[in-house]
Amino acid sequence: MKLPKPGKPHEKLERLSGKWDGKETWHPSQFAPEGAETEGAFEFKKDVDGFYLLADYEDSIAGKPNLRGHGVLGWDPKQESYTLHWFDNFGNPPAEPSRGDWRGDRLVLENGTGDHRGRTIFDLKGDDAFEFGIEMSEDGGKSWNPTIDGDYRRR
């Protein structure tokens, strides 16, 4: 059997490969009622013959561990969209992956149904920086509220 090879969509994900450090602002929300300033770290690495980008994430508040998570970024050729399966220490497995696409240098992935939706954003700023964001919507995606904003630099 001849196996498929990764293509251009997979190559675009490789722009995130590497180790990154950043500072984040957690806006007041159900996750951080008073908000918080955190230090975060991402490590993205190719796996499964280049079809997926694995993400390890952690942040800390005043040097104390806070959120930790693992993500799997990939390309779904049937639906022609990028996917993000996310697992973290909140302990809720994803009902379905977030889906999205590149908008210029911004990878925007959305999840949820009905009124409650979430959005994850990786906005590349050249080769050595990206802005990270998580936003929530309670009106079906008509308006979005920031949950986390972060500025990351390549280690």
Domain 8-154 has CATH 2.40.128.20: yes
SS3 assignment for the chain: CCCCCCCHHHHHHHHHCEEEEEEEEECCCCCCCCCEEEEEEEEEEEEHHHCEEEEEEEEEECCEEEEEEEEEEEEECCCCEEEEEEEECCCCCCCCCEEEEEECCEEEEEEEECCEEEEEEEEECCCCEEEEEEEEECCCCCCCEEEEEEEEEEC
Beta bridge partners of 18: 44
Domain layout of the chain by residue ranges: 8-154
**pTM (2 decimals)?**
0.94
Question: pLDDT tens string for the chain (155 positions)?
Answer: 899 999 999 999 999 999 999 999 999 987 788 999 999 999 999 999 999 999 999 999 989 999 999 999 999 999 999 999 999 998 888 889 999 999 999 999 999 888 999 999 999 999 999 999 999 999 999 999 999 999 999 99
Nearest to 108 by CA among 138, 135, 128, 147: 135
